[in-house]
């Protein structure tokens, strides 16, 4: 997945970088252009502190991967991928900010591994050694999490979601342990308080799971002890996270610090009374829980979701069967905790959709309860068909998708227009185009045939090297001129037919740019090629400078070509 091609990923990375460079939490303003980290600065800081080892080594002046002014950015829920153009920095071996970004992604992947491990441990905790199928259910639950393509995608991004998901899974494990180890002191009570506090300074959506540890204390029994232990949980959570909400209240008169975010990004286009909105939202939730990548712009074929929905229905039916078979005898409190976790995150998603609009129907908001969901689904599918056929069929299907989707589906949706970095002496020509005090772009190589026939169309392949980002879409002119400098044939077009304009080139990019030159009316003879950049709106050409930074006109002249009859 190219950098920046996940929901809000650029904002998350900029937050981590801001924290590393300034040593302080970003401040938001009503005008996003004045905010330290537009769009994400309202987030609590713990996940970004965790990212510091991956970004702190960057030099202060290191260029961050930015988006050009004309980039094809699409808001979440767009209808096509490639929100951002790819740069040469995002080609292995990565360097600079791109390397830091991928290191942050590696942290997300490690957190995903923790969630998978906790899911397995949770299933073993729920069923222990007392059920014959407990080991298989635990393995299957972990596999349902690990092989879910959307879960993999969510943990291949720079984001605060992976830490929240891991902490939420651990909180659920601690809550189940409170119920199952009623007489083992207060270690899980203390763990619940610490985990809840960390969650609350990881992401605001952690508020959805605040009732979970208190429900576990009530289900354990002994109301008097539950009150005392509940105070312990609350005090620990407030000590860890209370300062963040007090800070927001002092800065914004809003403990969540969401007012600036809502002003700019919330659409409010979801109505609770609209069945059409509910149907659209739930369909989006299904798709983005199992396989809708990019900025919700790269879905699978609808048939894939119908297959997933079929397995979910089978799992629900099977879950009812497990009740009849006594799987949950003596485990009713555990079942209530698992179901409550799912209900809480679903209700939060609905509330967020009411505030932020239809774009809030994203499966990643349900992933804090992914361990509970996977465990219940594994239980249901394991009994619906003989020999656990339904369970392992679904696990196998997810495994195939997890292996095949990245190379066969995802990567093909993100074509790269840049080439691997070349050596400093690469190329057969040189000309740097821009105003003298700017750096602009270099023309480093030109490829075309030595000879061609009258009436033919030849390919002229240019290799550009971007020294900095440019301010507009410059077009390329290629002129075929005779000895009297008359233009005999010409081509005028944007690089790569406009699919990758000069305004989107990032410093360090190497771009291979092919143009066609029509020789239909060209008489036989020997001609030269002139190549340069110009602005179609004004007709102005960019100046050209040689290797010594000396002005050398407005074009590069390359070797001759012979046109034959």
Residues 375 and 443 in one domain: no
Q: Report pLDDT for 468.
A: 87
Q: Report pLDDT for 193.
A: 97
CA angle, residues 418, 419, 422, in degrees to nearest 5: 135
Categorize the per-residue pLDDT at 313 as very low, low, confident or very high, splitting at 50, 70 and 90. Answer: very high
pLDDT digit string, tens, across residues 385-435: 888 899 999 999 999 999 999 999 998 888 788 888 888 899 999 999 998
Residues 157 and 54 in one domain: yes
User: Is 72 inside a domain boundary?
Assistant: no
For residue 255, give every residue at least 6 positions away whose Cβ sits within 8 Å of its Cβ, in sequence order, or none.
Answer: 245, 246, 248, 249
Give the residues across from 459 on adjacent strands: 516
Count of CB atoms situated within 10 Å of the CB of 156: 22
Residues 109 and 246 in one domain: yes
Spatial CA neighbour of 42 closest among 30, 56, 60, 55: 30
Residues 368 and 308 in one domain: yes
pTM value? 0.86
Residues 447 and 352 in one domain: no
Q: Report pLDDT for 75.
A: 42
Percent pLDDT > 70 in the chain is 92
Distance CA 536, CA 357 (A): 40
Q: Distance between the two ends of the chain, CA-based, in angstroms?
A: 50
Q: Is the pLDDT of residue 314 over 80?
A: yes
pLDDT digit string, tens, across residues 144-194: 999 999 999 999 999 999 999 999 999 999 999 999 886 667 999 999 999
Helices 187-200 and 161-180, axial angle in degrees (round to 10): 160
Q: Are 210 and 196 in contact (CB under 8 A)?
A: yes
Residues 383 and 456 in one domain: no
DSSP assignment letter at 467: S
Alpha carbons within 13 angstroms on the beta-carbon side of residue 120 total 12
Distance CA 95, CA 84 (A): 18
Q: Report pLDDT for 152.
A: 97
In total, the chain counts a number of residues equal to 565
Per-residue burial over 280-303, b = 16 or more CB atoms within 10 Å of its CB, e = otherwise? ebeebbbbbbbbbbbbbbbbbeee
Q: Is the pLDDT of residue 20 over 60?
A: yes
DSSP assignment letter at 418: B
Q: Report pLDDT for 291.
A: 95
Q: Report pLDDT for 71.
A: 45
Residues 337 and 446 in one domain: no
Residues 200 and 126 in one domain: yes
Q: Which domain holds residue 479?
A: 431-564
Categorize the per-residue pLDDT at 261 as very low, low, confident or very high, splitting at 50, 70 and 90. Answer: low
State how far the alpha carbon of 180 is from the alpha carbons of 76, 122, 217, 408, 539, in Å. Answer: 42, 12, 11, 45, 77
- Tell me, rounded to whole angstroms, the distance of Cα 553 from its chain centroid: 44
Residue 266: exposed, middle, or buried by beta-carbon count in 10 A (0-12, 13-18, 19+)?
Answer: middle
pLDDT digit string, tens, across residues 460-481: 999 999 998 888 899 999 999 9
The residue from 385, 413, 441 where one domain ends is: 413
User: Is 423 inside a domain boundary?
Assistant: no
Residue 498: exposed, middle, or buried by beta-carbon count in 10 A (0-12, 13-18, 19+)?
Answer: exposed
Residues 314 and 445 in one domain: no
Give the residues across from 491 on adjacent strands: 478
User: Is 4 inside a domain boundary?
Assistant: no
User: Is 103 inside a domain boundary?
Assistant: yes
Q: Report pLDDT for 131.
A: 62
Spatial CA neighbour of 511 closest among 437, 435, 415: 415
Residue 536 dihedral angles phi and psi, to the nearest 5°: -60, -30
- Tell me, rounded to whole angstroms, the distance of Cα 29 from its chain centroid: 24
User: Is 177 inside a domain boundary?
Assistant: yes
Q: Report pLDDT for 267.
A: 60
Residues 493 and 554 in one domain: yes
SS3 label, residue 227: helix
- Order of strands, sheet of 487-493, starting from the edge strand that comes earlier in the sequence: 451-453, 556-564, 525-534, 475-481, 487-493
Helices 211-220 and 332-356, axial angle in degrees (round to 10): 160
Percent pLDDT > 90 in the chain is 67
pLDDT digit string, tens, across residues 340-395: 999 999 999 998 888 877 888 999 999 999 999 999 999 999 999 888 899 999 99
User: Is 109 inside a domain boundary?
Assistant: yes
Categorize the per-residue pLDDT at 59 as very low, low, confident or very high, splitting at 50, 70 and 90. Answer: confident
Spatial CA neighbour of 409 closest among 483, 304, 501: 304
Q: Write the DSSP string, 541-561.
A: BPPEE-TTS-B--S-EEEEEE
Residues 409 and 435 in one domain: no
Mean pLDDT computed over 104-112: 98
User: Is 552 inside a domain boundary?
Assistant: yes
Could you tell me which residue, 253 or 372, shows the higher pLDDT?
A: 372
Distance CA 397, CA 414 (A): 24
Q: Report pLDDT for 181.
A: 82
For the chain, the domain total comes to 2
The residue from 413, 446, 479 where one domain ends is: 413
User: Is 425 inside a domain boundary?
Assistant: no
pLDDT digit string, tens, across residues 497-539: 888 889 888 888 899 999 999 998 899 999 999 999 999 999 9
pLDDT, averaged across the chain: 89
């Amino acid at each position: 997945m190219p950098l920046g091609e996940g929901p809000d990923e650029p904002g998350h990375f900029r937050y981590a970088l801001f924290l590393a460079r300034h040593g302080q939490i970003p401040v938001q303003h009503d005008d996003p252009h004045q905010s330290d980290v537009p769009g994400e600065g309202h987030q609590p800081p713990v996940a970004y502190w965790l990212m510091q080892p991956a970004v702190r080594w960057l030099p202060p002046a290191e260029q961050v991967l930015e988006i050009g002014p004309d980039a094809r950015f699409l808001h979440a829920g767009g209808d096509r991928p490639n929100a951002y153009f790819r740069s040469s920095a995002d080609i292995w071996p990565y360097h600079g900010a791109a390397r830091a970004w991928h290191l942050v992604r590696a942290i997300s992947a490690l957190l995903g591994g923790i969630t998978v491990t906790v899911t397995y441990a949770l299933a073993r905790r729920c069923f222990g050694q007392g059920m014959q199928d407990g080991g298989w259910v635990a393995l299957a639950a972990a596999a349902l999490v690990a092989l879910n393509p959307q879960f993999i995608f969510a943990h291949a991004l720079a984001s605060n979601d992976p830490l929240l998901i891991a902490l939420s899974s651990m909180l659920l494990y601690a809550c189940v342990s409170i119920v199952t180890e009623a007489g083992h002191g207060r270690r899980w009570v203390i763990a619940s308080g610490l985990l809840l506090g960390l969650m609350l300074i990881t992401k605001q959506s952690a508020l959805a799971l605040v009732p979970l540890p208190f429900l576990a204390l009530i289900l354990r029994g002994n109301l008097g002890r539950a009150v005392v232990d509940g105070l312990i949980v609350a005090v620990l959570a407030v000590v860890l996270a209370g300062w963040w909400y007090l800070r927001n209240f002092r800065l914004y008169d809003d403990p969540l610090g969401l007012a600036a975010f809502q002003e700019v990004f919330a659409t409010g286009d979801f109505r609770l009374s609209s069945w059409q909105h509910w149907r659209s939202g739930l369909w989006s939730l299904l798709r983005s829980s199992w396989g809708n990548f990019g900025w919700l712009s790269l879905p699978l074929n609808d048939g894939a979701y119908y297959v997933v929905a079929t397995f979910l229905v089978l799992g629900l039916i099977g879950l009812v069967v497990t009740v009849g078979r006594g799987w949950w005898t003596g485990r009713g409190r555990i079942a209530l905790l698992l179901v409550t976790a799912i209900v809480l995150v679903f209700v939060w998603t609905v509330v967020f959709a009411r505030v932020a609009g239809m774009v809030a129907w994203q499966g990643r908001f349900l992933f804090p309860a992914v361990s509970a969901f996977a465990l219940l689904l594994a239980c249901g599918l394991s009994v619906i068909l003989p020999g656990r056929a339904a369970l392992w069929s679904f696990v196998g299907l997810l495994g195939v998708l997890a292996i095949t989707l990245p190379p066969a589906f995802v990567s093909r949706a993100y074509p790269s227009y840049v080439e691997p970095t070349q050596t400093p002496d690469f190329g057969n020509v040189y000309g740097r185009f821009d105003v003298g005090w700017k750096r602009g772009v270099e023309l480093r190589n030109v490829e075309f045939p030595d000879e061609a026939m009258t009436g033919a169309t030849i390919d002229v392949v240019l290799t550009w090297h971007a020294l900095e980002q440019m301010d507009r879409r410059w077009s390329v002119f290629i002129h075929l001129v005779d000895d009297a400098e008359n233009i005999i044939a010409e081509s005028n077009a944007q690089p790569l037919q406009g699919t990758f304009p000069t305004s989107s080139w990032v410093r360090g990019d190497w771009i291979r740019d092919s143009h066609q030159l029509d020789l239909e009316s060209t008489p036989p003879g020997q001609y030269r090629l002139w190549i340069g950049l110009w602005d179609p709106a004004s007709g102005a050409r960019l100046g050209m400078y040689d290797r010594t930074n000396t002005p050398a006109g407005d074009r590069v002249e390359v070797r001759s070509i012979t046109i034959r009859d």
